[in-house]
Amino acid sequence: MAVKAIGMFEKLNVPMLGVIENMSYFECSKCTEKHYIFGQGGAQKISEKYNLPFLGEIPLNSGIMTGSDLGKPIMLTQPDSASANAFTSSAKNIAAQCSIQAIRMQEEMEAEAPAST
């Protein structure tokens, strides 16, 4: 699914900032282990295959779903949870990639613009 989407974006020339893995793992309350219910490292492999930055992994948290239905993001309902922290660090990585893309676009525009005298 994700690989198909990447192929489509490449065809349409849509720039991709990177890969974020949703439902990466489950942090259960019974132990301190991360349970990788859907397998581990899938998004990391995709980011390496397509040479895209890996931006983060968002753990499973039932609060994300219930909060989304109520319009209450996990950042507000459980600000200290692993999921909220993962959103914060992923957002920082996205912001960094936006800056990198902006610099690249500016450099491309400057290279294409006729030299001013």
Comparison of 4 and 30: residue with beta carbon closer to Zn ion: 30
Q: What are the φ/ψ torsions at residue 35 (nearest 5 degrees)?
A: -100, 115
Residue 55's H or E segment, with its range, is strand 54-57
Q: Minimum distance between the CB of residue 10 and Zn ion, rounded to whole angstroms?
A: 39
Which residue number, 36 or 50, has a Cβ lying nearer to Zn ion? 36
Q: What letters, b where the CB count within 10 A reaches 16 and e where it falls short, cover 80-115?
A: ebbbbbbbeebeebbeebeeeeeeeeeeeeeeeeee
**Of the residues 2, 3, 5, 28, which one makes contact with Zn ion according to CB under 5 A:** 28
Nearer of residues 55 and 60 to Zn ion, judged by Cβ: 60
Distance CA 11, CA 8 (A): 5
Q: Which residue from 30, 69, 80, 115 is in contact with Zn ion, where contact means CB under 5 A? A: 30
Q: Does 32 bind Zn ion (CB under 5 A)?
A: no
Binding stretches for Zn ion (CB under 5 A)? 28, 30-31
